[in-house]
Amino acid sequence: MLSALFTPRTLRTFRSSFFHPRPFSTSRCRLEQFHGADEATFNRLTSATRTNGRVVLVDFYADWCPPCKALSPILEKLAEDAGVKTGSGRPIDLVTVNTDEQSSLAQQYAIRALPTVAAFRDGKMVNQFVGALPESGVRKFLEDV
């Protein structure tokens, strides 16, 4: 059936590429974003081994919160920009946690107002801010981490 669609030469090329896929070069992604993380994902991503050499920003939010909706695009934009690093020169990962769905995490980290953004480095929360900051305010926060 394939021979009806391909010439003998293209059929050989198709078969060889199908059975011997082209190898891809991979490297560790500079940016990772995890939206709507559950408790297990949160614990894995903020662990000491995972945050070694990186800073993980955790955005505690709720779907009904207008300031949260204003802050989220700013955080995503900064996390996607390879030129944005912390004051210590570490790259940034972004994790979002819906406090309505993950209330135990909100209680564990004493989240009293939304949005709250916490920075984790080497497995520990090192800094946080509450409220929707403008992009310049978030950049200043990152410089201090």
Does residue 68 have an active-site annotation?
yes
Written as six digits, the tokens of 126 are 């090192």
* 65 annotated active-site: yes
Token pair of 122, please? 């080497």
Angle between helices 66-80 and 135-144 (to 10 degrees): 60
SS (H, E, C) 8-35: HHHHHHHHHHHHCCCCCCCCCCCCCEEC
Cβ(67)–Cβ(113) below 8 Å: no
Pick the catalytic residue from 37, 45, 68, 118.
Answer: 68
Please tell me which residue in 37, 65, 106, 138 is annotated as part of the active site: 65
Question: Which of the residues are catalytic?
Answer: 65, 68
